[in-house]
Amino acid sequence: MLEALAEAELGRGRTHPNPVVGALVVSSGKAIARGHHERAGGPHAEVVALRQAGDRARGADLYVTLEPCDHHGRTPPCTEAVLASGVRRVVIGSVDPNPLVHGRGIRRLRAAGIRVDVGVLGDACDAANEMWFKFITRKLPWVMLKAAVTLDGKIATGSGDSRWVSGRESRMLVHVLRDEMDAVLVGVGTALADDPRLTARLPRVAVGGSRVATGVAPRDPVRVVVDSTARLPPTARLLRQRSTAPTLVACTLRAPPARVKALQRAGAEIVRCRADRAGRVDLKDLLRRLAGRGLTSVMVEGGARIHGSFLEGRLWDEVYLFVAPRLAGEGALSWAGFDGPRRMDQALGARIVDSSRLGDDLLVTARPLG
């Protein structure tokens, strides 16, 4: 199953709105075929592996990280391919939470006389698809907040200079994360100040334990700008990229029609969102709309107000904080801007789940309490 999990990771960032899945066909204790789900609409992992195995699959064991589907979608039911292959046993990591699948694939295989073992490395298989599980069960994308900060928690000097807070290894890993996430999101303030590209430029070697697959071309994420009144200029670099991924501009109804039309002419796709009490884009409404486009994960790259809004609204699932050995001092910009509590026991809580060195930097990963 560990090998099937490694196979699944080869599809990371390329399968939305589907999960990442890996499969192995094993005979006499040896893997004779393997496969992973490469893209939505393409064959599922177990079908790829079984096709590769051919007649050798008869009497073998099939290991798959997620329960085979038993319904017609963009592809036929995987259970049909499993039954036709002649495998004697199917070993499953995760039960599929999708109501169209949940338990059906397992029941059909067992009804046909195939031995089915469920939950092998279940926690690891669940973790591999935790972003997709949230998307399926809550109709919302997984939200990762990403920031590069100094030791005193600043993202830029008092003058706004931020190049570069973090070191080369950290910046390389950010491009890997962009390649793996379905969308990357910034506030219009960051878009105006930095004029970023927000594309994925993969390093030639893996960094930070990342899942860079040799020979895999970079894949740009969908770019999202939260811009309540359509202030993004049509000349922004976000709109001038040679990329197959679109740039979405999230506006409220207050956005002047002339500005909206100018952005559309420049190639932006406009996402009309409800306004919150302050008249800005309602972020939960935006997340629902992104999920409606099949986006299962979003990396929020700033700035401080956007980060603060996601934190304050409890709309986040994970924080990636790249901490650099620098001190910016008083007057510098903090990474998360929101009204803090009066007492420390009222502070927003989080739990640190991992920390690792990246060159001279420290990557700290945190998640909400509870």
Whether the CB-CB separation of 47 and 77 falls below 8 Å is answered with: no
Which is higher by pLDDT, 244 or 141?
Answer: 141
Task: Decide if pLDDT at 134 tops 70.
Answer: yes
Tokens of 169: 């290894």
* Percent of the chain topping pLDDT 70: 96
**C-alpha distance from residue 96 to each of 61, 122, 123, 297 (Å):** 20, 11, 13, 18
Averaged pLDDT, 283-291: 98
Which is higher by pLDDT, 348 or 160?
Answer: 348
- How many residues in the chain? 370
Q: How far is CA 142 from the centre of its chain?
A: 6
pLDDT tens, 307-361?
999 999 999 999 999 999 998 888 888 898 888 888 888 888 899 999 999 999 9
Whether the CB-CB separation of 84 and 95 falls below 8 Å is answered with: no
Q: Could you list the active site residues?
A: 46
Instruction: Give, rounded to a whole angstrom, the gap between the first and last alpha carbons of the chain.
Output: 29
Cβ-in-10-Å burial (0-12, 13-18, 19+) of 271 comes to buried
Domain ranges of the chain: 1-129, 139-368
d(CA 132, CA 130) in angstroms, rounded, equals 5
Q: CB atoms < 10 A from the CB of 314, how many?
A: 9
- The tokens 């338990």 sit on which residue? 103
pLDDT tens, 184-225?
999 999 999 999 999 888 765 444 444 444 455 678 999 999
Q: What is the pTM of this model?
A: 0.91
Tokens of 158: 């008092």
Residues 6+ apart with CB under 8 A from 367: 317, 318, 319, 350, 351, 353
Which CATH class name applies to 139-368? alpha beta
Cβ-in-10-Å burial (0-12, 13-18, 19+) of 216 comes to middle
d(CA 320, CA 170) in angstroms, rounded, equals 11
Task: Decide if pLDDT at 255 tops 80.
Answer: yes
d(CA 284, CA 298) in angstroms, rounded, equals 12
pLDDT tens, 20-79?
999 999 999 999 999 999 999 999 999 999 999 999 999 999 999 999 999 877 788 999
CATH of 1-129, one of 3.90.79.10, 3.40.140.10, 1.10.3720.10, 3.40.50.1860: 3.40.140.10
Instruction: For residue 16, report the phi and psi dihedrals to the nearest 5 degrees.
Output: -60, 145
Alpha carbon dihedral 288, 292, 294, 297, in 10-degree steps, equals 0
Q: Which of 75, 78, 117, 77 is nearest to 95 (CA)?
A: 117
Task: Give pLDDT, residue 260.
Answer: 98
Q: Where are the alpha helices (DSSP H) in the chain?
A: 2-9, 45-53, 78-85, 104-111, 122-128, 130-138, 168-180, 188-194, 257-265, 283-292, 304-312
Residues 6+ apart with CB under 8 A from 322: 146, 147, 148, 149, 165, 166, 170, 173, 174, 358, 361, 362, 363
Mean pLDDT of the chain: 92
